[in-house]
Amino acid sequence: MGHLRIDGEEVELSGARMVWQRATSGGRRGFVFQVTAYGRRRMLHLAAWAPADRIGDLTGQMVPLLASGPDAAVDGRLFASGEVRFGRVRDDLAILSVDGTVEALDPESDARSVVEADIRAILSAVLERSRCVACGLALGENVGERDEFVGGHRVRRPIVPATCGACTGFAETPRHCPTCGDAYEADAVQSLGDMASVAYTATCRAGHTFSGNVSSEAR
């Protein structure tokens, strides 16, 4: 899965994933990608956007981390500067390296720590959602678009509400898979924490696993 070094101290990574979703930026086609990599007591996450027609086109690209804010951090310490360099990217695997500096542990300090990571990430697409979690019917014209900042890049991507217009206000655990519309079996949906009615993770019979929060998706 790779290695993560902070000021030269190396940790072996035990897991790394990258997920992608199509998004345009300034009219150019591309992908938002999110990388999560973790090792013993260390966790790196970052999100950014890169121009490409196919995910494999990321191969060999360099993507700067520009004013990423909370979208790029190691152990909760934000990247002050940095870049992602992709090696080979194919449908199910992305090889990438990350070089940058992160803020010091002491927020009063101007010191920076040097971060280097070599990552071999399992790659997958963000599951598309096109069905109402309450009734299972297609969302159709309820899907819109929104501009937002991801890792310092202004991107336009779909906003997909959790429910169709007829089910607006639904605030229970989902009854249908948002990807295929299949009705969940009784033990397929797990609620998370105190917000039992709205935060959940669920896997349908087709194997689509979805975690979410009904109210925030519906905003």
Instruction: Summarize as ranges the residues that interact with Zn ion (CB under 5 A).
Output: 132, 134-135, 164, 167, 177, 179-180, 182, 204, 206, 208
Say whether 109 sits in a helix, a strand or coil. coil
Q: Which is nearer to Zn ion, 104 or 135 (CB)?
A: 135
Shortest Cβ 44–Zn ion spacing (Å): 30
Residues 6+ apart with CB under 8 A from 93: 120, 121, 122, 123
Shortest Cβ 163–Zn ion spacing (Å): 5
Contact 124, 19 (CB under 8 A): yes
Shortest Cβ 212–Zn ion spacing (Å): 13
Q: Which is nearer to Zn ion, 113 or 163 (CB)?
A: 163
Q: How far is Cα 90 from Cα 54, in angstroms, rounded to an integer?
A: 10
Q: Which is nearer to Zn ion, 97 or 213 (CB)?
A: 213
Shortest Cβ 92–Zn ion spacing (Å): 20
Q: Which is nearer to Zn ion, 116 or 182 (CB)?
A: 182
Residues 6+ apart with CB under 8 A from 133: 162, 163, 170, 174, 175, 176, 177, 178, 214
